Structure 1
Amino acid sequence: MPSYQVATACAIAGTDEQRQAALADLTKFMTPAPVRNIEGWLAELSVITAGRGKEGFDAELMLNAYSARLSEYPADVVRHALLKHSWKWFPTWAELETVCKAKAGPRKHMIAALSQPAPDPEQTRRPPTQEEKERISALIAEQFPNVPQAWRDRAAEEATKGDCMTDPANPTGETA
């Protein structure tokens, strides 16, 4: 059985202006095809595949049902599903929907991510000052008076290792 990848999420970065521009562009790529085009592509598909030899009212009903559903997807996705994707038999709606969802999914995830407010910037971290190290050591000694001094020193050393401190007044590290 063939397999394919499906987008499940999208992470976005950039300024508000860049995000808005990308959202506007992606929204344009979600434009559906005119129903007449979809009907033409369905007619072409019915000629190049086996099965579904419907006529009259049944053919018109099928054409309307498929066209209405396919008009919910971007034009290029529908055209791909109907004419570029290889079908031996005329596809069921479930088969077409699977192809359309897989092709349109990444765009929908990008639009959803771009529509969300920008995340807060990460806090900038810095190494602790000597005064902060001493305060942390004192706090550890106060909280754990019955623990051997060597263990308390090791705990204070571990707690103050690397860039572990943030400034509450300036969490993002921005300079004025």
Structure 2
Amino acid sequence: MGQQETLRLFLALWPDPAVRQQLRAARDAWPWPRGATPVHADKLHLTLHFLGDVPGERLPALLDGFAVPFAPFRLELGQPVLWPHGIAVLEPFDAPPELLALHARLAQALADLGLQPEARAYRPHVTMARRAGSVAVPEPGPAIAWDIAGYTLVESRNGLYTVLREYPTS
């Protein structure tokens, strides 16, 4: 038998096509310098929790264990920010309490499943590009109103993202 298979997983808000188009337009409003790597439009998302490498045999328990109750809410993105190490992001103008509550419930679900939530403070964002250290940050654009009615468990493999399960509002 070979090495046990691991899955690189994260929980995310996954945009519908209309929101994805608006995120693409927001990404394209940045004057990217040479060497910057804008995130491909089909990968734009807002991470709730990054799980990292998880043994594949745990997937069935995780699929059910990540189902937590939450109410639908609206997220308004539109604040461009350049983070350290050249990470260009789009942050919400304000993080709605419902988003923070969903993040906290999922952190508890991770702990209940024996997984370690990230220790750093949660800063909701959509990554626009990496290696963008010298970019001129554009003015905030019009708010992207994103009505959140679910979240997803996503696998990252060889640069491709696959939604493994969608979790609609309860």
TM-score past 0.5 threshold = no
Q: Which has the higher strand share?
A: 2
TM-score by length of 2: 0.22
- Higher gyration radius (CA): 1
Q: Which has the higher helix share?
A: 1
TM-score by length of 1: 0.22
Larger RCO, structure (CA 8 Å, separation 6 or more): 2
